[in-house]
Chain A
Amino acid sequence: MRSMRRPGHSPASEAKAVAAAAAAAPSGPGFPIPVPNPYIVDPPAFPEHAQTGVTGMPAHSCMGLNSCRGTDRFGLVGPPGRGPNACAGQGYCATSNNHTCHVQNDCRNQGGCGLYGTAEEMNRPGYNDCRSQGSCATPINAERFSTNGQNQGKSVWARARELFETEVWPALRDELQGKRESGAIPADQPLPETLGKPPAPFTESGPSYLWISSVNADRGAFQACGSSGMSGAGGCS
C-alpha cells in the first residue's frame, strides 16, 4: 500500500493495520471496499512521492492544478506506459510536500483547504500567499467539503479548480512568461500555453480517497485533520 506520513506509524504497522481492517470488515467507515477496485487499472496508481518535473515550475496542491506540461506528480517521466501530462491543468495530483493540516504548507499555492482556516482562506484552496498561509491537507480528496465561508458545504477541489482556471493559472502563465523574457528561466523552457482538463475519471470531482489511498484501512491511509470523521479521510492521531 502507499501511505502518507503519519507520526508513530511505520510502514509495517500500517500494513498490519490494513490487514486487520480487511479482516475486520465491515467495521470501519467506507466498507465494503468496492470490488473490483474501480481505480486499480486506470487511472495509474497514485505515486507516493512526486517525481522530478520541468525545472522552474511551481509545486501545486492537487490534481488539475499543475502549471505546465510534465509538471504533475508523475513529472517528466509520466505514468507507467504513458508520456508526461501534456499541458497545464491536466496533471495527476499534488507535487507539493504532502501535509495533513492548516499552516503546514511549504510555499504559496500549496495549501489544500476546507477543514481549518478563516472564511477567506477556505475560499482560496490552492491559492495561498506563502508558507504557513495555506489552509489544510493536500492532496484535496474529492469527498472534502468546505466547513466555513462562501463555499461551506461544497466541494473544496471544485473550488480550487475554479480558482485555478480563472486566477491562479493566468497569473502564473504571465509570471513565467515574464521570467523567460527577463532571462530568469531558460529561453527554451516550455511554458504554459493551453489549459487542459483534469484526467478521467476525476475530471469533474478531483481525486477520490480510494485512488489516493488505494485502500480503505479505516480511513487511515491518507489523512486530513479533524475529529468529526467528516473529512473523507482519516484524522491525524
Chain B
Amino acid sequence: MNDQPSIAVGAPEPITPLTDAEKRVIAWLNENSSREAVLADLQDTLQTAIEIELATIPIYLFTYYSINREAASGENLEAPQLFANKAGAVIMSVAVEEMLHMSLSSNVLFALGGTPRHYRRAPGQYPTPLPYHNPVGPKGPDGQTAVLIPLSKLSFEQLWHFLQIEYPEAKDVTPEDRDWDTIGQFYSFIRCLLCTKFLSDADFQRGPAERGIQPGNYSPNNIDTVFPKEKFDPWKTAPPVPLPGWLAKDGHPRAAEIAQFTDCADSHTGPSALLTIATVRKAIKAIDTVCDQGEGAPICGPKVDPDDDLSSLEMSHYQKFLTLQAQFAAYKDTKEDLPPYSDRVAPVEPTVTQSELEAAGLIYNFPDNPTTGIYPIHLWPISAFTSACFQYMLIMTETIYRVPPHQQKLFFNEGLHRSMIWVLDKYIKTIRKIPVGGGKVMAPTFENVDLGPPVTAFAGLTYYGNQAIAAANAILAADPNGPLASVMSDVIYYIGVAISATSADGHPMHLPDVAEYWSEEEA
C-alpha cells in the first residue's frame, strides 16, 4: 500500500496515529480478510456513514428552526435572546459540519467507484436510532438509556439527545461497525479498513476526483453560524471604516466587534475541509476531519496527539452542545451520565429556563416527531412540500457527481445553495407561523416522500409545489385579509423560487431540473 498512514504522521498535514486497538483490528483484517472483502466492506460502511450523517441533519435542523433568533436584536438584546441566538448559531454550525461529513464520506465512496445514495435514505420515522447504533446508551436526564433521537424543539432534554449523537469516544476502544457506542468507534473501523494491506491509491481513483464534490463548495461560517456576544449598536459601520459623524462614539460596540464565529476555517485535516479523494492518505484525512470536528474526539483525559486544527479554537460538537446545555438551570442537578474521561463543563451564567425562553417567544411550539398526517388535512400539501424540497436536495446531491466539473460550481450554487438558503430555510420560517391546533405551529417533517426516479424528480417536486400553492390559494380565497394571508403569499412565493422563478430577462432562477443527468432506467 502506498503512503502508509501509521508511519506518515508529521507536519504539515499530519493524521491521527493509529491506536493500539486499531492496530489489533488491522492486523486481524490483514490476516483473515481479503482485498475483495475489504473493498466491499468499505463501500458498505461508507454508505452507512453517509446515512448516519444524513440522519443527524433533519434532527439538528428541526431544533434549529424551533428557535426564534430575531425577536430582538442590537441594543435590545437581553440574556434569553442572546442565549437563543447563540443556540441557533451553534446548532447550525454543527449541521453545516454534518453536511461536510456527509460530503466527505460520499467523496471517499465515489473515489472507490461506489455510488453515494442520499435520496430517501433519511430516517423513516422519529424518534429514530442512528444506523447500527447500540440502542442502549448512558443514562439521560430522565433516567432512560434508550438511544432514540426525536425531532423536537430546543430544550434541555433535546440537547441531551444531541449529546447522545455526539458522545465522545474513550481512548483505545475497539473499533466497531455494528452496535457501536460512539460515532468515533464507527469511523475508527473505517480507518482500520483504510489501513489494511489490501488497498492502494489506485483503488481510490475509480471515481475521478474532479467529479467529486469540490473543496470550493464548502464554507465553515455564514451569517447563520454567527451570534452576538452582547448588545451592539446596529447603526455603527463595520470596521475598519470610520463611524458616521452623527453617531456617538461611546455606547454599545459595533456588531462586527462582538460577533462570535462558531466554526473555524482551520478545523480540519488536509489542505481544505472538503477534500476530493484520489489516494489512501486523502481518504484517511477525510475521516480524520469527521472525527476531529465532532464525532468521538475526546475533549479531555486521554488525548490523541494534536493532528489538526492549528488554532485549536473550535469546540467539538459534543463540547458545543454540552456548553449550551450547561446554560440551562436544569444542568446543575442533572442526572445525565457524562463520560468520566471528558471535560465536565461548569454551569454557564446567566442561566436560562425553558419557561423563560418560551414566555419570551424565543421557541416555536413545534409538535414532537410530526408527520404531515398529524396536521389539519387542508394543510397537508403545504407541509408535504417541505419534505419534497428536502428530498430534491438529496437528489441534487447525488447528481453533483454527474455534472461536468466545469459546471459543478454553478450547479451547486443554483441547486444546493439556492434550495437551502432561499427555499427550505425561508419556507420553514414561513410555515412555522401556521397554527396546527393544540397551541402548536407547523414544523418541518423531513419525510422520505417519493418524487419518482431522478429523471422525473423535478416534475415530482413541481407537483408537490403546485399542490401546496393550490392549498395556499384556497386559504387566501377563504379569508383574503385573514391572519394567514401574508403567510400564504410567502408560501406561494418561495415555492415559486423552487419550481418556476425566472429573471427579468427570462433566465431560469429556480432549482435546476436534474433530468439531463439521469437516464430513465435509473431508479
Contact = CB atoms under 8 A, between A and B. Distances in A.
A116 B426 contact: no
A24 B217 CA distance: 43
A219 B232 CA distance: 14
Interface in A1-60: 7-9, 13, 26-31, 34, 38
B11 interface: no
Nearest to B218: A118
A152 B247 CA distance: 24
Interface residues of B, number: 65
A191 to B, nearest CB: 25
Contacts of B507: 106, 131
Given A7-B489, A153-B259, A119 B265 contact: yes
Contacts of B219: 116-119, 121-122, 148
Nearest to A118: B219
B244 A147 contact: no
Interface string B206-239: 0000000000111111111111100010111111
Contacts of B418: 103-104, 132
B70 A227 contact: yes
B256 A158 contact: no
Contact of A13 (B224, B414, B430, B486): B486
A133 B409 CA distance: 8
B413 A144 contact: no
A236 interface: yes
Given A132-B413, A133-B410, A229 B85 contact: yes
B241 A29 contact: no
A29 B504 contact: no
B490 interface: yes
Nearest to B263: A148
Interface-central residue, B88, B226, B265, B429, by most chain A CB under 10 Å: B226
Interface in B440-498: 486-487, 489-490, 493-494
A34 B116 CA distance: 56
B509 interface: yes
Nearest to A117: B219
Given A147-B225, A205-B244, A230-B73, 11 more contacts: A30-B75, A103-B422, A132-B410, A142-B241, A147-B221, A148-B221, A148-B265, A157-B238, A201-B245, A204-B241, A229-B69
Interface of B: 69-70, 72-76, 85, 88-89, 216-228, 232, 234-242, 244-247, 254-256, 259, 261, 265, 409-410, 413-414, 417-418, 421-422, 426, 429-430, 486-487, 489-490, 493-494, 503-505, 507, 509
